[in-house]
Chains A and B, each alone.
Chain A
Amino acid sequence: MDPGAETARGGRKPVEIHAAPLGRLFAFLVDALLLTGVVFAFSMALDATVGPAVSFRAEEGGAGNGFMIHRDRVMLAWILNVALGAGYFIGSWARRSGRDLPSTPGQRLLRIAVGRTGGSRPITLAQATARWLLLMGPVSLCALLGIVAPASRAPVALASLAWYLILLVTTLRSPAGRGLHDRFSGSIVTVRARRAGPGSSP
């Protein structure tokens, strides 16, 4: 049973109009682009302070295609970037301000928001964390394994790809557009209600 679908058909509770998958995907891409830009700027700042994560000087021992990875700096970058990403998404979804449901900048651009099922309340911090883990966890895990266990990258990348396909398929097949990440975290992505202007009908 899909609780979101039930709510959408319900009579007493406020009707949630779930967001179309294409819009959600586009919003995610906007967020990912924004965040990648921030992460890139952050990496430049790290280069300047603790040194580059990759160097190309042959005398530093670069083999094969001539580059050398500084694992400690890469690890530091991973920790900071994951924290940055978590702050961006979890902070955006669990924010409580005003009457509107919270949303990331990309979602706001596409006029969609994330809320709890069965009502128009924002999701809790725990729900937002669960949602972020289910969405961004595999990418972050892949990146971590790429640093600590490069041999496991390919199978984990394949498993991640499979996971994202599952999310896509479950989202598309759900009447309320709730993929597994929504169901496990008890969230739903809805279209933001337009504010009633002066003279508009109630």
Chain B
Amino acid sequence: MIVDSRSIPHGSRIEADLCIVGAGAAGISIARRFAGTSTRVVVLESGGEAFEATTQDLSRGENVGLPYFPLDTARLRWLGGTTNHWGGICRPMDPEDFESKAWIPNSGWPIAERDLESYYEPARVMCGVSSGDWGLETWRQRDRFKPLPVRGDRLDTRIAQIVSPEARSFRITHRAGIQAARNVVLQCHANVTEIETNSEGTLATLFHVATLDGNRYTVAARQGVLAAGGIENPRILLASNRQWHEGVGNRNDLVGRFFLEHPRFVGGVLVPFDRRLSVGLYDHHKVGAVRLLGYLGLKQATRDQEQLVDVQMSLHPTLAGSFQRSAESEDMKALHALVPALRQGHIHQLGGHLARVAEDLTSWQALLIPGAPLPAPFPEVVGKLMRSTPFEAQALIPDLMGDIAARGYAKKFGAPIESILLRTRINAVPNPDSRVTLGDDRDPLGIPRVRLDWRLTSLDRHSVRRSLEVLGSEVGRAGLGRVRVMLDDHDGPWPEDLAGGWHHMGTTRMADDPRWGVVDRNCRVHGIRNLYIAGSSVFPTAGSGTPTLTIVALALRLADHLKGLLA
């Protein structure tokens, strides 16, 4: 069931078997795994059932490292967490993502892919991913688009799946399951301000909860799970510094360190020799009901030989003139939005879309013979069109009609490509200096706001450059085109378009040795018998896939571990 913590009596002490902090992908996955059991579960969610600016403001913080998104926009604080606006791109980690590499400092997981393998399937179902097939070969046969025809064995095409927009939000897809579970109480507007431990610091005894309207109470649970995200998890641990000045679980000064992202930027440009080079596989497309997205990377053997981290390269074609305009056309979007707006009864939106389409179509009116019962261009316009090349002619045709014609042409014959931007995404090197700490400012609950110092290494930079060079070499050998690498190998500034993937990882990393990790292989905080962490903050490395599926798989594995303890 779902309750509002503002109505819980001030000063209460709530007893539970399991307390989960955070109702995002990880927290909800664990709670649903316990639904219908005899375990009393309390889930503490900072936000409500809808977006609230005052709650969201609690995420505000300071960026002092590489340029990064404003922290209050990089995650969401309400039921469902950041699944309320994620891109839905899913891919499990590859077996080699778990391996330690001698040339990558701090790499390797204490668990292997086989430890998670059986959890990826239920995780796929939880996330709403259509198919359990991730291999290129299956899709090669079914997909109308084919991988880039490069020879040699240095390049890989990998397939990710995209969850359909309506199935992405855990708030929408799992709310009913939580609401119906009698043993699960999800408390909205419940912010954890401190984790209290016993005097030895070996047992988490109380979760202190505060609401923005001043209510305060505590939750005592046999087991606790922090599942508040890759920035909030270390924040809560570090801010629990009343008993332990370094915070909870931070005896080795590792909480908040090793902050990882999937840094992304345009690292190069591929200019194809054939303007109709097929790269549709590397764009969002559908095979039956399954939404797919391909990207390129170097094969593991090549990476090992070259001593590189994995760099994924996605292809973004820039189409020739009018075709690019058609691909980005606001008028086409308005036209596409007409039917859904009509179906959903959004009359005000319908009016806007209709007006836009009408405005565009009537722009053509200036070239039509006035007073003719059917739209007929002036004779001189007809003459001009007949003398023009298709590109010149398109300048005379109104946007919408031109866009429709361009799209039709592109669908039938393929759109001519000017160039292909190569957006690189790095499986970045774990770096202890890239970290989350507490800042000087405090939020309205009195908790210090976070300070993020995001950093990358020279190996990250070298890996991008070298991966693009290998791609260029393979593309050149295959006679497909030429690649211009736009990143130098010196320690200069990173490209201006450097951004993350809204993936916060590594800040409570997993390691068997407490000197190297905050949690052990079962996600238990080293030194504390009943405190666990779920989510991507436990990832020791970022991995080549996107994190959500692995977050959920790890959460389900943790849930099964806790079930054994709580039985």
Contacts and interface: CB of A to CB of B under 8 A. Distances in A.
Interface of A: 31-33, 35-36, 39-40, 43-44, 47, 52-56, 65-67, 69, 74, 77-82, 84-85, 136, 139-140, 142-144, 146-147, 150, 153-155, 157-158, 161
A153 B378 contact: no
Contact of B366 (A35, A85, A139, A146): A146
B561 interface: no
A66 B395 contact: yes
Contacts of B381: 54, 67
B373 A139 contact: yes
A33 B374 contact: yes
Given A43-B379, A56-B380, A154-B355, A69 B366 contact: yes
A17 B87 CA distance: 61
B359 A154 contact: yes
A14 B363 CA distance: 49
A78 B381 CA distance: 17
B230 to A, nearest CB: 48
Interface string B359-389: 1011101111111111010111100100000
Nearest to A159: B358
B372 A157 contact: no
Nearest to A44: B379
B370 A153 contact: no
Contacts of A154: 355, 358-359, 362
A67 B378 CA distance: 12
Give the dominant DSSP class at A's interface.
Answer: helix
Contacts of A158: 354-355, 358
Contact of A39 (B358, B362, B366, B372): B372
B404 interface: no
B366 A43 contact: no
B395 A140 contact: no
A109 B362 CA distance: 32
Give the dominant DSSP class at B's interface.
Answer: helix
A59 B359 CA distance: 28
B331 to A, nearest CB: 12
Q: Which 7 pairs show the lowest CB-CB distances between chains A and B?
A: A81-B371, A143-B370, A78-B370, A32-B373, A153-B362, A154-B359, A146-B365
Contacts of A40: 369, 372, 376, 379
B301 interface: no
A157 B362 contact: yes
B396 interface: yes
Contact of B373 (A31, A47, A155, A157): A31
B370 A146 contact: yes
Interface in B83-97: none
Contacts of B358: 154, 157-158, 161
B384 A77 contact: no
B378 A81 contact: no
Contacts of A69: 366
B362 A35 contact: no
Contact of B370 (A44, A81, A150): A81
A127 B370 CA distance: 25
Nearest to B388: A56
A142 B366 contact: no
A82 B369 CA distance: 11
Contact of B371 (A44, A67, A77, A157): A77
Contacts of A32: 373-374
Contacts of A140: 371
A47 B371 contact: no
Nearest to B355: A154
Nearest to A82: B371
Nearest to B375: A36
